[in-house]
Amino acid sequence: MQTPTLKPGKAGSSTGESPVVPQPRTSTASTKSDKTVAVVSHGMLIVWALLVVVPLLWTLVASFKTSSEIFASPFGLPTQWNFDAYVRAWNEAGIGSAFLNTVIVVVVSMTLTMTLGAMCAYVLARFAFPGSKAIYYLLLAGLTFPIFLAIVPLFSVMKNLGLLNTLVGLILTYVAFSLPFSVFFLFAFFKTLPSEVAEAASVDGAGEWRTFFQVMLPMAKPGLASVAIFNFLGLWNQYLLPTALSPAPEARVLSQAVQAFAGQMGYRTDFGALFAAVIITITPVLIVYILFQRQLQGSVAQGTSR
């Protein structure tokens, strides 16, 4: 009986046939849909950017014009570029004193808010004690409380304390309303910090205060940067609380001064100075955002990736 003979084939194939390697297939439909989404999203972003940037540029150009030039040629360039409108807005409209009041209130409020908020968030995140969760949830409840509902009782409290029309009253109110957000934001950063670092600092002889300020607080710098920027933007643009608690001219902030100056337009039409006052008001916010936008984006990304 003859034994069957097998034909030699390639390794890994008993039949002598070469294995079929599947080739990757490109999806034309998915590529087209991705391009469509990219084009639509970029188009919407361009439209949104134009809606934001064009009014700002028009306001900037109009701040160098006189009222007659604005009405004669709203979209034209000024015949002479000068800062007379800014001088009038700074001196006559009270923007100078309001700018100083705003800087004082915002800087002091942010300093107190960042210090107290960081200390409170650190304690709630790193230490377990009776009532810690209740304190945390009460602070979170402060985020859900609308400001306009607190205007009447807050006005009565400030009047009884003699803090109406004072910068001290505004500072205390700003701190009270911005503290819950600061604690809520920083709580997550302190919660994720390694406890071994604090334990190593205590082994080296560092107390709780030194451990917090020299070890743990620098590690939470991304969260501190984010909270500081958000608080600055919110406090600088605050209008409702100053209007209710400090309506006197000597205690006005920038938002009140611009609104009061706009209310005087019925008696004299100095729209160039009005636009100059608006530019003075928004310039610090733009500068802070331009300088710290990368740090803000990195801080938020680092906080969400933890």
Identify whether 259 is part of a domain.
Answer: yes
Helix (H, G, I), strand (E, B) or coil at 102: helix
Local structure of residue 22 (DSSP, 8 states): P
Domain range enclosing 119 = 84-304
Residue 281's pLDDT is 92
3 within some domain: no
pLDDT at 6: 47
Q: Is residue 119 domain-resident?
A: yes
The per-residue pLDDT for 27 is 57
Is residue 256 in a domain? yes
Which pLDDT value is given to residue 267?
A: 60
Write down the mean pLDDT value for the chain.
83
- The angle at the Cα of 292, spanning 287 to 293, to the nearest 5 degrees, equals 100
Element (H, E) at 272: helix 271-304
Return the residue matching tokens 């070469």. Answer: 18
Q: Which tens digit of pLDDT belongs to each residue from 62-74?
A: 999 988 888 888 8
Q: What is the CA radius of gyration of the chain?
A: 31
Asked if residue 287 belongs to a domain, the reply is: yes
Q: Which residue, chain included where needed, has tokens 């920027």?
A: 229
Calpha distance 166→280 (Å, rounded)? 23
Q: Environment class of residue 125 by beta-carbon count within 10 Å: exposed (0-12), middle (13-18) or buried (19+)?
A: buried
* Reported confidence tier of residue 14, pLDDT bands at 50, 70, 90: very low
**Which residues contact residue 121 at a Cβ distance below 8 angstroms, ignoring those fewer than 6 apart?**
182, 183, 185, 186, 187, 189, 190
* 92 vs 253: CA distance, rounded Å: 15
Between residues 302 and 243, the one the model is more confident about: 243
Q: Report pLDDT digits (tens) over 184-222.
A: 989 988 888 887 887 888 788 888 888 888 888 888 888
Q: E strands, 67-161, where? A: none
In contact, 169 and 246? CB cutoff 8 Å = yes
Residue 147 CA to residue 174 CA, distance in Å, equals 11
Q: Determine, yes or no, domain membership for 77.
A: no
**Would you tell me the crossing angle of helices 95-126 and 167-192 to the nearest 10 degrees?**
30
Confidence of residue 23 (pLDDT cuts 50, 70, 90): low
Distance CA 127, CA 198 (A): 12
Number of domains in the chain: 1
CATH number of the domain bearing residue 160: 1.10.3720.10
Alpha helices per DSSP H over 127-250: 132-143, 151-161, 167-192, 195-203, 208-211, 217-219, 221-236, 240-245
> Tell me: the pLDDT tens digits for 140-152?
888 888 888 888 8
In the chain, the percentage of residues whose pLDDT exceeds 90 is 35
With bands split at pLDDT 50, 70 and 90, how would you rate the model's confidence at 29? low
Domain assignment of residue 32, yes or no: no
In a domain, 10, yes or no: no
